[in-house]
Amino acid sequence: MPAFAATLSERHKPIDWKDVLMRTAEMMHSLAGNSALKTDDYHLIHTPCLLLLGDHDKMVTLEEITAVYKSLSHTAMGMLPGMPHPIEQVDMSMLGYTIKRFLTS
């Protein structure tokens, strides 16, 4: 926990890391109970989308991302090996390569 607190403190200064943590928790609770984007809205999205899931992601499941994939009309989906959910732990070269391929295809 001290390392996580130090990371939050560095990333969000001058805001106190405890405030960042509290506001993030509030946002997550709000999204879980009252997301502005509903599953029934997905058919309205016509912009090409790339859905990516890290195989070590503990926040989003394969079933959840597959359901979104099936609900969108112009979508590509991929699995990123060895990747967790937090963006700061992602292999940026692999992520960049995957996004560039999507954008140029």
Residue 80: other Cβ atoms inside 10 A: 17
Residues 76 and 50 sit within 8 Å (Cβ to Cβ): yes
Domain boundaries, the chain: 1-36, 38-105
Spell out, as residue ranges, where the chain has pLDDT lower than 50: none
pLDDT tens-digit series, residues 26-49: 887 887 777 777 888 888 999 999
Q: What is the pTM of this model?
A: 0.71
Position 34 scores a pLDDT of: 73
